[in-house]
Structure 1
Amino acid sequence: MIETAEDLLRLEVSDISIALLTGILSEETKLPQPLRISVTADLRCPDRFAPDTPLTASKNYLDLKRAVTEAIPRDVHFGLIESIADHIADTLFLQDPRVRRVSVKIVKLAISHNGESIGLTMVRHAP
């Protein structure tokens, strides 16, 4: 049996700066930590996008941004930034069943010096 590749539409929002309650060290647990978050979502792609294709055939880029800026509760302390990435991915999967894969990159700005990026990238596939 020959397996064919599925066409995907990749939406991206990069370098959102946000401060969230995160960390496990005592100096990290008192104040929100500055983070830089980038999100990529792969969706099932229709055969073609004609010039008059409505937005409903795709996904609003702002949904990705809102999964970071609005959907993360500000009063919850996330011990690990991995749990923030999971929250963002879960939000996008729940919003739209066409989302097949979500990648979340988080950089911890407070420990990044001299231009390096210290953090993680998590990739989750649709349940």
Structure 2
Amino acid sequence: MAWLDGLLEWSDDHIVCRASNHQDRDHPLRTARGLLGGAAIEYAAQAMALHGALCAQAAGSADSSSPEPGFLASARSVQLGVWRLDDVAGPLRVEARRLAGDDRQLLYQFHVAGASGIVVAEGRATVVLNTPLAMK
């Protein structure tokens, strides 16, 4: 379920990606009302995951082909600029900036915008790494 279709730039603390499938009628998060604005958080989470993989590869991790597993633990101070993503024309610009982190968790700030510059979503997200989930 990879929704990003382009990497525009990245550094050790920042990534910018492009996504253009938010208007697809068969988008997996689309509801009867359309693709709701909150789905932008998942686009941002995918950019964060890609950023982690690129940083691991650049650092020469022992196994950079299999980056550290993680999950989105929280999204805070989220502001949505649109009700529906599928109403946003053109590709989405998805940015994430790592604000802090260690080998167990990362804090990112994210910003998702439409081609015209309209803010789709922004906020902060905490990613927890290498934490086994209990299997039932």
TM-score (norm 2): 0.30
Q: Which has the higher strand share?
A: 2
Q: Kindly name which structure, 1 or 2, has the bigger radius of gyration based on alpha carbons.
A: 1
More helix by share: 1
Q: TM-score, normalised by structure 1?
A: 0.31
